[in-house]
Amino acid sequence: MNPQLQERLMVYGGLIPGAISLVLLLAAWYIHAFKKSRADHLDDDVFDEDEGEEERAVRPATGPRWLLPMLLAGGFAGADFAANDVFHLWPDANNYRFTHAIVLIALVGVVEGLVRLPMLVGFVVRVLGFGGAFWMLAEGYVGSVFVDSAMFVGSAVFAALAGALIASAIDRQSEDTPAWVDSISWLVIAGASMPIFLQNFFSTGAMIPAGIIAVLVSTLIVGLIFRDLRLARGGVTVLVGFVLTMLVGSIIQTGAVNLPAVLLVGLSPMVMVVGGKGMSGFGQLGARLVLLGMILGSSAVLMAYAGDGEAGGDEVDPYAEYEPARYKGGWVPLLDAEQGSRAGWNRCLEV
C-alpha cells in the first residue's frame, strides 16, 4: 500500500473515529447508567414489600442508541475521505457518493434509536433508506450496467427489500444479544471483506471497512463495561447498510467476474440471527464464528480459484487500450473516472 495512503487511512479511518467513538460512547452510557441507578434507587424506596418481585414493573433500558449510527457513519466517512482525499457536497460521479449513501442510512438509524417504531413502519423506513442509497450509487449506470430504467428500478427495489428484511431480522435478535458478541461478529465480517474486495479490484471496499472496524472496537470495549448497550435500533441498520453499499459498489464498478465470492460476503450478515435467550454469549459467538468461517472462507477460496484460473489462461493485458501515465517513478494505466476502482486499486500498491 502507498505509504501516504496508509497513513491517511490509519489517521482518518482508524485513530480519529475510534478515539471519538470510545469517548462519546463511554460518556453517553455512563450518564445513562447513572440515571438508571438513581431511578432504581427511587423505585426501591417506594417498593411495596407485599408485592412479589416478578410483579415489579421493569423499565426498559434502551439508552442512547441513537449515537452509534452517527459514529458508524463517521468512521465510514473518515475512511472514505482517506481513500479519495477529497469530499464533494454532491459529486456527479457515483463512485464518490458512498459517504452520502451511508449518511442517509444513518439518519434512518438515528430515528430508530430515538423512537421505538412499530415493526411495519420501521421496515418501510429501512426500505426507503436502502433504496435511496442504491439510487445514489447506481443511477449513473442506467444504459450501461443496467440495460434500461426498468432493470434499474427492479434492482433498486430488490436491494431495498432484501436489505430491510435482513436488517429487521438481525435487529430483533440483537435486542437480546450483548453488544460485545455482536461487535466481534461484525468485526470479523468487516475485516474479512477487505482482502476479498481488494482481490476483486474494488479499492474503496478494501479501505472503507477500516472506519467501521475502528468504531466497532470502541463499541466492543464499551459493551464489556455497560451491559445495557445493544447494537439494535440503529446500529444494525447502518451495519447492514455498510455491507449493502460495498456489495452494490463492487458489483457495479468491477463487474460480475467474481460475483459468487462477492455475494457470499453479502450473505455473511445473516449469521447474526443465530442465537437465542437460552444461549450464552460465548455460545452465540462460537456458533457465529463457525458459520462465518465457512461462508467467508468459501468466498476467499472462490476468489483465489478465480485468480488462479485467470493466471493459467492466455495472458491478456486488460489495460492495453489505455494510454500509460507516469506516476511516482512507474508506469500505470490512466483510467476514466467512471472506472476508478482499478485506478484506486493501483494507488494501493507501491509502484
* CA-atom Rg of the chain in angstroms: 22
CA distances from 174 to 91, 180, 190, 229, 311 (A): 35, 11, 17, 10, 43
Which residue has better confidence, 219 or 63? 219
Residue-level pLDDT at 57: 41
Q: Rounded CA gap, 324 and 321, in Å?
A: 9
Could you report the per-residue pLDDT of 43-72, keeping only the tens digit for each?
A: 555 544 444 444 444 444 688 999 999 999
Q: Which grid coordinates belong to 248?
A: 452494490
| Domain definitions of the chain by residue range | 3-40+60-310
- Beta strand 324-327 pairing with 330-333: antiparallel
Tally the residues of the chain. Answer: 351
Which residue has better confidence, 156 or 315? 156
What is residue 272's DSSP assignment? Answer: G
Q: Tell me the whole-structure pTM to 2 decimals.
A: 0.84
Residue-level pLDDT at 5: 87
For residue 114, the SS3 value is: helix
Could you report the per-residue pLDDT of 253-270, keeping only the tens digit for each?
A: 877 678 888 999 999 999
Residue-level pLDDT at 317: 47
